[in-house]
Every structure is written in structure tokens, then in C-alpha cells.
Amino acid sequence: MAAPLPTPGVGPSPAEPAGACTSCALAPSTARLARLGLAPGRHDHVVALAGNPNTGKSTVFNALTGLRQHVGNWAGKTVARAEGGFSFGGAGYRIVDLPGTYSLLSTSTDEDVARDVLLFGRPDVVVVVVDATRLERNLPLVLQIRQITGRVVVALNLVDEARRHGITVDTRHLTRELGVPVVATAARRNEGLPELLAAIAQVATADDPPKPLRLTHHDPALEKAVADLAAQVEARFPGVPNSRWVALRLLEGDAGIEEAVRNGTLGDLATPREAA
């Protein structure tokens, strides 16, 4: 739907006039991507990019920011996190590229980095990049992230490769099942990026985003333990948005969450975020 993406260095200058209000509705050239590279300047929204290893997160990151950050096909390439910026529709975005993980629950440095940013960084939008050719393998992470937040956009990436393998994915059905927008992309060809940007903008500005997904367990003993512990977590940290999720992690013996409870960092989740 949106206008085709400008290539860097082509077309109107992407730079906003100095001092211009990038968020006000009167800003000119709305609905146009400006890749701001490493100098995002002021930003209105924070976007985190998550996904399994090797799904093209960094390619999506580069397509959005215009950076040429370390794209490579080996495990653990993005060890810490890379940040960049872009502006779209008159709003500034800071985007954080997270290390690839299969899960937010195992214990490795990469997974801790990803988990901490998602949980404590409280991004306005989490873009989960999934591999359309191995969807089944990628969806568990989507579900885990959906348990933390409803502010999620799923980028169904590598659809070009999926097409070659004769795989088509029913994105509308998937959108309905997951309760969040699913956008088909082929980031290395800029395919689907306008739609992805529109979905990011929509979720970033949503007043009433979907609630975190609440999985029920059919084991009454577990259900009771979770409910009891969740009540204690809420009593100690009023307003924590995902007390059930925290309770489940504590029951699993998740050291990072235990530490956050012990030193009170978990309480930061309850304090309202500074106005964007």
C-alpha cells in the first residue's frame, strides 16, 4: 500500500529539518521511510528485533536503518545488540537488533540479553522475525514473546525462499491465531517492508494493544502453584504486567528472574514508562 521505499541517496533528502517536530502530525513527507543509520536522534518509539538464529534479523535491521551491520551466516554473530534508527510516518524509531535465540528460557548469554531487553527494556514494538521455510520451529519463540507482551509484529521472512520450496503461508490465518499482525517479507529484496513498517507504526501507536498471551496448564497442582506465586509476585510488585509468566519462571528455577525479584529490578516493570 505505502509508497515504494526510497533507496539511500536517491530521492528527497531523508533528513528532517533541524529542530523539526518529528512526531507532530504536520510533519511533511509522512509515510516515508528515512533510514537514520547510527544517529537516530530523538526517537518516539523503541523497536526490538527478535527471532531464531539465521532468520534474517540483521537483514531486516539493515533494510530499515540503511546500515550495513554484520550480516553473516554463522551462529552467534550478533552477540550483544546492535542499535540504529529510522523515521517513518513522521515518527522517529530506535531499533535494537537482538541476538538470535530459540527461546527466552534457556540459560545462555545470548538468550539473557534478548530476554532482558524484551522484559525490562519494554520496547514499544517487538518484531519477531521468523523463517517462513521452518515456521514450526520458529513459532515457540513467538508464543514465548507473546506471553510477555502483546505489542508484537511477526515478520514472516524469507518468503522468497519459501516460494522456491513450494511453501505458501496463510498470513491472515496466522494473524488471527496469534492475535498480532503477521507480515510476509523478503528483507534482502525489500519485499514487504512497506507493509512491515505500517504494522510497526500501528502497533507502536496502539492505545489498547493485545494482552500478553495467557497459557493455561491443565495440571491442577501446577495451576495452583502458579496462581499462588503470581499473587505473591503481584503483592510484592503491584502492577507487574505479567505476574503469571514471572511465577512460571520462578517455578522453573530461572536464575535471572530470581535475581530480578531479589534485587527489586522486577519492580521497574510496574512503574509507568516515561511518556513517549
Partner 1 sequence: MTLDELPRGQRAVVTALDLRGGERRRLMDLGLLPGAAIRADMTSPLGDPTAYEVRGALVVLRRGQAKTVHVEHSGTPSGSTER
Cα(107)–Cα(91) distance, integer angstroms: 36
DSSP H helices, 76-219, are 109-120, 135-148, 159-164, 171-178, 193-204
Cα(191)–Cα(4) distance, integer angstroms: 10
Binding-site member from 70, 137, 211, 224 for partner 1 (CB under 8 A): 137
Per rule CB under 8 A, count of chain residues that contact partner 1: 13
The closest of 46, 47, 71, 50 to 59, measured between CA atoms, is 71
SS3 64: helix
Q: How far is the CB of 38 from partner 1 (least distance, A)?
A: 32
Nearer to partner 1, 29 or 103 (CB): 103
Residues 245-274 that bind partner 1 (CB under 8 A): 252-253
Nearer to partner 1, 141 or 230 (CB): 141
Provide the 8-state DSSP code for 268: G
Give the interface segment with partner 1, choosing from 7-15, 103-111, 154-162, 197-205 (CB under 8 A).
103-111
* φ/ψ of residue 130, rounded to 5: -120, 150
Give the interface segment with partner 1, choosing from 133-141, 171-179, 198-206, 229-237 (CB under 8 A).
133-141
| Per CB under 8 A, 42 contacts partner 1 | no
The residues of the shown chain that bind partner 1, judged by CB under 8 A, are 102-103, 105-107, 133-134, 136-137, 140, 165, 252-253
